[in-house]
Structure 1
């Protein structure tokens, strides 16, 4: 589809996987988007766990989360840690997080997330099929493992939410678990198999493939540091970058954890926090694994990828500017050995990235009411890869005037 020469320009701020998927769907509609990406080593899309988890509808803040706060503040090796230097900065976000754990809000958030993630794997296939890269998806399901049936029962509130929203699950005893993944340590006696889930074998290559599709369909991707969204009256007219001003009829803000900084000058405050995540990449772990494995007690994802075995997880608050904490990354090796005691760790590399997280676990998506021409697509938290393809399809369709059967209201920036 070709756009007219005078087609108003759409600028997408952010070349992460969410911004690229929005741009891909815009380009497919002939809108020729310009994607502006400030290269960042810590962009979340390059180092995520690769999981595509459309059933992950339970928000991070579940009823009873208040009891976990002291551990978050004091346990250096906990799955979620807030260092003392960051307590004061994190406290407003943490208070909102705890407040969002009320049962009614949890149910509402789960329903909204289910509406967004419905058909996520199909949306990923849609893009990759068009780009001739279906080999990027592994469709072998995902496996959650537990040390006992009693430990699995502790996960029941989140599992019940998933079931209510149509998630298919198979409960496994030790024999069935070992039949599926023989090398899992015998300490894990129970499992939950999610056959409809999948994963990406290389999230960074995934992003490159989507970017190539954007260019193929007439879009442009340019490296630039966006310093401000420019306005006139109550409408957006472009962006100011380190290379000068660029005009635009519409702007999509998809800058991940950096998005709040660009909204604040427009009078829009969103409680966006970076939950710094880590991974270790093992080029030759000596572990035969067919799918994503996630141990409940370790809160990590162990994913077979093209370049080796990736162990991703942990949550650390620390802001956008602090350097990576190598000790947090090394905890992942301990997590791996709990599940696969004989894994080889020679030659491992570490990585840290910024997950853009909001207290209610819902991203900010859709048009901004106060500013004509401004759209948002950020804040997907731990589900950036999963949510990228459906977000791209929905936002681009709405921008093109197609009126998708989707309610953007629960995701509005104004909800805060």
Structure 2
């Protein structure tokens, strides 16, 4: 492969799973991308629930969400909490979030998410088959758990939205639920089974596998902190890092929750908020569900993985600088015990990471309208793993000039102006 001149290189800012998937597809086309990751490469992507949920097209802001805001502000044990010190900072985002719950906005967001996510299972398999790592994906489905019919009815709008966009689901009574998951507490008497959803058994290994593929195909992954996008007139000319200037002809901004900081100097304001998500990992839980479980009253995901059982959720607002709140992480053990009363919690380890969330739940993707050579791929919120592979495919194809059959307009960074 002929070497690509440094000034013509494509630089991907961010080595999380989305940035890695974009870079993998660029590398497969012989474009030798350079990924610049501020932390140790791959370390940032160890903490998600492992869900691959192509039918999760219902945005977080659904009709009636305004009633939930008081609990977000006042209940420190709530599934999503905004601490008092962060109320003022979160207020503009929260106002946009509530506005996004209008029916027309919900339908538009769901249609956009469906257009991106419908091919997620095939896109993940495409990458992992090429890297000889199909064992990273399980195809046992996912299950939402409910205590009774009344609790299930509260999710009716979201479930119907998913069904209208093609998600196959089966409603289970207690007997059918127990036949699939006999260890679940008898307090849960109903379930919705999603047989076509899957899961990743080790997100950190997946990131490592994709990174190895990028290098194998001529790309590079480098550790540095990006401080600005270098411009030449109205187009990208490189990135400024703490190690100096890196020339580039095209820049892909995929820096997760840090992305808005790099767009602001270009006059583009994106209401990107970090939802600080937590997980607890149990090496020997004494229970082994056959698939991802999500109890509706707890808003968490319980995932069997290669190295144990993971329970992920417990989201809070708090910005990018505050240290992890260990108490938030420990709440997850109570959520887990509600589903598996006899679970063993010895040896539990905790993690906190930043999920880049937008008010309408629709990520920012595609080219900037007013700056040449700058592309976006960030803001996937709680669907980062699911959306990573299809995002990588369509963004890389567009950068390569292939005109993918995909409408970037609903994902535009400028839609918030």
TM-score (norm 1): 0.98
Deviations 1:312-337 (A, max 9, x none): 00110000000000110000000000
The answer to whether residue 20 in structure 2 is matched with residue 12 in structure 1 is: no
Shift of 1:126: 0.4
Aligned to 1:186: 186
Runs of 4+ more than 6 Å apart: 40-43
Aligned to 2:367: 367
Aligned to 2:73: 73
Aligned to 2:201: 201
Describe how 1:15-414 pairs up with structure 2 within 5 A.
15-39=15-39, 45-414=45-414
Q: Partners in 2 of 1:3 and 1:307 — Cα distance?
A: 41
Q: Partners in 2 of 1:42 and 1:250 — Cα distance?
A: 23
Alignment length (residue pairs): 415
Residue 238 of structure 2 contacts residue 247 of structure 2 at CA under 8 Å; is this kept in 1?
Answer: yes
Shift of 1:41: 10
Shift of 1:45: 2.5
Residue 185 of structure 2 contacts residue 338 of structure 2 at CA under 8 Å; is this kept in 1?
Answer: yes
Deviations 1:62-101 (A, max 9, x none): 0011111000000010001000000000000000000010
Sort the Cα spacing of 1:358 and 1:40 in 2 relative to 1 into closer, same or farther, 3 A. farther
Residue 27 of structure 2 contacts residue 217 of structure 2 at CA under 8 Å; is this kept in 1?
Answer: yes
Deviations 1:170-206 (A, max 9, x none): 0000000000000000000000100000000000000
Residue 397 of structure 2 contacts residue 404 of structure 2 at CA under 8 Å; is this kept in 1?
Answer: yes
Residue 42 of structure 2 contacts residue 208 of structure 2 at CA under 8 Å; is this kept in 1?
Answer: no
Q: Partners in 1 of 2:13 and 2:31 — Cα distance?
A: 15
Q: Partners in 2 of 1:335 and 1:328 — Cα distance?
A: 11
Q: Partners in 2 of 1:150 and 1:266 — Cα distance?
A: 49
TM-score (norm 2): 0.98
Shift of 1:119: 1.5
Residue 45 of structure 1 contacts residue 384 of structure 1 at CA under 8 Å; is this kept in 2?
Answer: no
Residue 41 of structure 2 contacts residue 223 of structure 2 at CA under 8 Å; is this kept in 1?
Answer: no
Q: Partners in 1 of 2:364 and 2:238 — Cα distance?
A: 20
Sort the Cα spacing of 1:315 and 1:5 in 2 relative to 1 into closer, same or farther, 3 A. closer
Residue 4 of structure 2 contacts residue 32 of structure 2 at CA under 8 Å; is this kept in 1?
Answer: no
Residue 51 of structure 1 contacts residue 198 of structure 1 at CA under 8 Å; is this kept in 2?
Answer: yes
Shift of 1:307: 0.8
Shift of 1:5: 4.1
Residue 145 of structure 2 contacts residue 296 of structure 2 at CA under 8 Å; is this kept in 1?
Answer: yes
Deviations 1:127-183 (A, max 9, x none): 000000001001100011100111111100000100110000000000000000000
Sort the Cα spacing of 1:41 and 1:328 in 2 relative to 1 into closer, same or farther, 3 A. farther
3-state SS of the aligned residue for 1:396?
helix
Q: Partners in 2 of 1:210 and 1:252 — Cα distance?
A: 17
3-state SS of the aligned residue for 1:193?
strand
Shift of 1:288: 1.9
3-state SS of the aligned residue for 2:104?
helix
Q: Partners in 2 of 1:61 and 1:117 — Cα distance?
A: 18
Deviations 1:200-251 (A, max 9, x none): 0000000000000000000000001001000011101000001100100000
Q: Partners in 1 of 2:59 and 2:156 — Cα distance?
A: 14
Shift of 1:356: 0.1
Q: Partners in 1 of 2:5 and 2:381 — Cα distance?
A: 37
Residue 149 of structure 1 contacts residue 190 of structure 1 at CA under 8 Å; is this kept in 2?
Answer: yes
3-state SS of the aligned residue for 2:166?
coil
